[in-house]
Amino acid sequence: MNILSEADERTSASQRPWRVENGKTVLLAYRYIDDVLLFPPLPATSPLAASTQLVPLTGTPTLYSFTVMHPSPKTGKPPVPLGFADYPEGVRIFCRLIYPDGRRPVIGDALQVRLIEIDDGEIYAFELKERAQS
């Protein structure tokens, strides 16, 4: 069994601020003074890291605001939707958005975290939360 030390876990969380728990991706924030949660986690090398605690964000985030970034046409890359998602735990996170073709983001949409692969490696993004089948 591979158990990370607290310092290793903090370093890992600062570089990849998520965990996969029971097949679900969960972002990690950190608790500092006065129970305030902040994102992303501090690296283990930060002088403040010893006085913080990693906290998984388990609530359902909702879309607070969004925009669409249009790369230069010379790159040949498609537009990229970006937004801010609010967690009920009180954390607002800047993120890439993934929506089905033809579906525009709507403020207040329920979101879920998903890991995606980009040119620079794996990152987190938010996609429209799947509705439960009735």
pLDDT band at 89; cut points 50, 70, 90: very high
- For the chain, how many residues are written? 134
Between CA 67 and CA 71 the distance in angstroms is 13
Percent pLDDT > 70 in the chain is 89
Residue 121 CA neighbour count, 13 Å, CB half: 2
Specify the pTM.
Answer: 0.81
> What mean pLDDT comes out for the span 82-108?
94
Q: Tell me which DSSP letter residue 74 carries.
A: G
